[in-house]
Amino acid sequence: MTTVKKRPEVLSPAGTLEKLKVAVDYGADAVFIGGQAYGLRSRAGNFSEEEMREGVAYAHARGSKVYVAANMVMHEGNEEGAGTWFCNLRDMGIDAVIVSDPALIEICATEAPGLEIHLSTQASATNVETFQFWKNYGLTRVVLAREVSMEEVAEIRRRTDVEIEAFVHGAMCISYSGRCTLSNHMSMRDANRGGCSQSCRWKYDLYDMPFGQERQSITGSIPEEFSMSAVDMSMIDHIPDMIDNGVDSLKIEGRMKSIHYVSTVTNCYKAAVDAYMESPAKFESIKEDLINELWKVAQRELATGFYYGTPSENEQLFGARRKIPQYKFVGEVLAFDPDHMTATIRQRNVILEGDRVEFYGPGFRHFETFIKDLHDAEGHKIDRAPNPMEILTITVPQEVKPGDMIRACKEGLINLYQKDGSSETIRA
């Protein structure tokens, strides 16, 4: 009997209303956002009630869903008003909430019946029994802990009908399922209540401390200060494994990332899913293009997390970088005039006359050209636009569409590790 592959949802981050619209336009089947309470990203530009309503209307009109992260760990007194808040989310059309604290789950289930609840990755779900426990409480989906292997994903899928959501791209936390207290200790900001200062991403000095002697810094004798920082996850070339093993939702991390990141990564995973659902051969034919595309956004180095084994020192950030993105986000298209073949753009970074740039848009559309006939908002010819958010016009060789993004192609350096531990620098 032939098994029919189920198409998974592409779930993208949306830290602001602008990012929500970009994610939806670039192919997200669903987005996850934060409200102004109960979330873990206090600095992510969280949504007001009015913005939520607008975001829900925008997404639903285009066939996409909106989930709200309410995944903080509650302290005494935090529960006040939670029931009303969940009721408001339900009544404005939010499709589900993502929760980890059992008290918040209980409040939502009893005081806002009808609002779907998904278990957050913060709850560390790693086995079938945990899935069954939360199913008995009425939860319809579980977001897997990042520590789960692909073999375990397959076993969980085989033994439960609860929806599986799994991370496929983005930052990895150095602590188990994100439950960390480094930030609390070092900066008095509670990581489990939305205030993480990302202490694991800091650079630390390393000391030699012989007994009874003064400590001495050994900075400089190693290529990078001591770090606890993990590389980012990317499963773009393993999408077949995710689909074949029954993952229902492919989650992209990054509510605090830029619209360049959101548009690029969403575009890639949407294209990957589309291609594999068409045929394995189609996916293989574009896989390298997808990998290369992801390297056009600023990010840490990439690995597959715990899916294919326990990460080693190669999945930690230290020493010379092995690969550096070669592109810079410089603008977005606001309008296109087909009669004069000009594009009106909103500039995000410095643009120079003659810059080599790449336009890209939803559906994995791309083309390269050079900045020509650069004019400011008043129509004056200029050769440089240094100030962010300027409205400019340029001549383009082919049609572009509002919402298309523009990258400048910048030469850079790539550092490659050698077998002896040294590094070689080459021109990209």
Contacts with 310 (C-beta within 8 Å, 6 or more apart), sequence order: none
* 38-42, 72-76, 342-346, range with the lowest pLDDT: 38-42
* 40-44, 180-184, 185-189, range with the lowest pLDDT: 40-44
Residue 4 pLDDT: 72
Residue 418 pLDDT: 34
Contacts with 337 (C-beta within 8 Å, 6 or more apart), sequence order: 343, 344
Half-sphere exposure at residue 103, Cβ-oriented, CA atoms within 13 angstroms:
12
pLDDT digits over 355-414, tens only? Answer: 999 999 999 999 999 999 999 999 999 999 998 899 999 999 999 999 999 999 865 433
Angle between helices 17-25 and 259-278 (to 10 degrees): 30
Sheet (strand 391-395) strand order: 365-370, 356-361, 405-409, 327-337, 342-347, 391-395, 372-375
Helix H, strand E, coil C: the string for the chain is CCCCCCCCEEEEECCCHHHHHHHHHCCCCEEEEECCCCCCCCCCCCCCHHHHHHHHHHHHHCCCEEEEEECCCCCCCCCCCHHHHHHHHHHCCCCEEEECCHHHHHHHHHHCCCCCEEECHHHCECCHHHHHHHHHCCCCEEEECCCCCHHHHHHHHHHCCCEEEEEEEECCCCCHHHCCCHHHHHHCCCHHHCCCCCHHHCCECCEECCCCCCCEECCCCCCCCECCCECEEECHHHHHHHHHCCCCEEEECCCCCCHHHHHHHHHHHHHHHHHHHHCHHHHHHHHHHHHHHHCCCCCCCEECCCCCCCCCHHHECCCCCCCCCCEEEEEEEEEEECCCCEEEEEECCCEECCCEEEEEECCCEEEEEECEEEECCCCCECCEECCCCCEEEEECCCCCCCCCEEEEECCCEEEEECCCCCEEEEEC
Phi and psi torsions of 204, nearest 5°: -120, 145
* 13-22, 57-66, 310-319, 414-423, range with the lowest pLDDT: 414-423
| Whole-number Cα distances in Å, 416 to 232, 287, 296, 313 | 18, 22, 18, 16
Distance CA 72, CA 101 (A): 7
Q: How confident is the model at residue 419 (pLDDT cuts 50, 70, 90)?
A: very low
pLDDT digits over 138-149, tens only? Answer: 999 999 999 999
Task: Calculate the average pLDDT of the chain.
Answer: 87
pLDDT above 70 for 224: no
Residue 156 pLDDT: 97
The two structure tokens encoding residue 102: 């059992």
Residue 73 pLDDT: 80
Angle at 273 between CA 141 and CA 131, to 5 degrees: 15
pLDDT above 50 for 425: no
Percent of the chain with pLDDT over 90: 66
Q: How confident is the model at residue 67 (pLDDT cuts 50, 70, 90)?
A: very high
pLDDT above 90 for 154: yes
The two structure tokens encoding residue 210: 């012989």
Residue 300 pLDDT: 81
Residue 80 pLDDT: 84
* 41-45, 49-53, 330-334, range with the lowest pLDDT: 41-45
pLDDT above 90 for 420: no
**Residue type for position 358:** E
pLDDT above 90 for 317: no
Q: Which residues share a beta bridge with 344? A: 335, 393
pLDDT above 60 for 416: no
Taking the CA atoms of 55, 56, 62 and 67 in sequence, report the sign of the dihedral they define.
positive
Q: How confident is the model at residue 421 (pLDDT cuts 50, 70, 90)?
A: very low
**Residue type for position 214:** E
The two structure tokens encoding residue 293: 């595309």
Residue 74 pLDDT: 76
Domains of the chain: 9-172+230-311 (3.20.20.380), 178-217 (no CATH), 327-409 (2.40.30.10)
Residue 427 pLDDT: 33
The two structure tokens encoding residue 46: 């969280």
Half-sphere exposure at residue 30, Cβ-oriented, CA atoms within 13 angstroms:
22
Q: Is-contact 51 15, C-beta < 8 A?
A: no
The more confidently predicted of residues 105 and 215 is 105
